[in-house]
Amino acid sequence: MSIHWGPISQIGEAAERGADVRFQQQGMGAIAPAQVLESLELLMGSASVEVAVVPLDWSAWQDRVAKWPFLAEWKQTATATAETGKLGLIQQLKQAVKSERREMLVGHVRSQVAEVLGFSSALDIDLTKGFFDLGIDSLTAVELRNRLQKNLGCNLPSTLTFKYPTTNALVDYLFELLLGVETDEEQTVKRKEPKEVQVTSQSNIEDLSDEETEKSLLNVLDKLGY
């Protein structure tokens, strides 16, 4: 075990030079000899391999640390990160490296799907599995669309989850919509996309499944601008 001791009072070189007193003025307290033995006994019973033992007055210590030159670059990075967090998702996507943009959008859409379905982790969302197989119904489909509209600041069709039935397909559509980029994956999805159901008569409606009937209704509403 490696132990980094702070200044020790009363005995030793630091005490002889008055270093323990100077450290206290800077927010770092001195350790009494009895405290050294107590700390050592406590640490020997732990599984730690490297520790520091030093009493700190955090308010005084933080003021001092804030002036250290070698932390300047870190502070700039932290500030930049905080500012980035305030940006909208669209702006973040545009400012991101091209190779990272799709993954950023995947992460966002995945998290929205997970929240709508009540999944504990976005990683539980299979990118290639159909939304309805994951458990999305007409109500949660509307909720997902509304969430994405709000977060992305754009109008989306009410048939969104029917036209783009997997997370991958939906991400490709949004990627093109937001950034004007069409991916090979989206082209493949479009080729495999099922044809929209056209309802022309009462007999046709009776032959449709519940899912097809719902899709047909949403298509009509979408064309009417709802």
Nearest C-alpha neighbor of 117 from the set 92, 97, 141: 141
Residue 187, classified by CB atoms within 10 Å of its CB into exposed (0-12), middle (13-18) or buried (19+), is: exposed
- Res 209: pLDDT: 66
Beta bridge partners of 4: 52
- Res 145: pLDDT: 93
Nearest C-alpha neighbor of 164 from the set 175, 176, 173: 173
d(CA 212, CA 131): 15
Nearest C-alpha neighbor of 93 from the set 116, 84, 172, 155: 84
Sequence spans of domains, the chain: 2-67, 87-194, 196-226
Helix (H) or strand (E) holding 151: helix 138-152
Question: Given 1.10.10.10, 1.10.10.60, 1.10.1200.10, 3.40.50.2300, which CATH number is that of 87-194?
Answer: 1.10.1200.10
* pLDDT tens by residue, 172-220: 999 888 877 544 444 444 444 444 444 444 445 556 666 666 667 666 6
Residue 70 has what DSSP assignment?
Answer: G
Q: How far apart are the two ends of the chain, measured CA to CA in Å?
A: 68
- Res 187: pLDDT: 45
What DSSP assignment string belongs to 87-139? S-HHHHHHHS-HHHHHHHHHHHHHHHHHHHHT-S-GGGS-TTSBHHHHT--HH
- Res 221: pLDDT: 59
d(CA 77, CA 143): 36
Stretches where the chain sits below pLDDT 70 are 14-26, 59-87, 181-215, 217-226
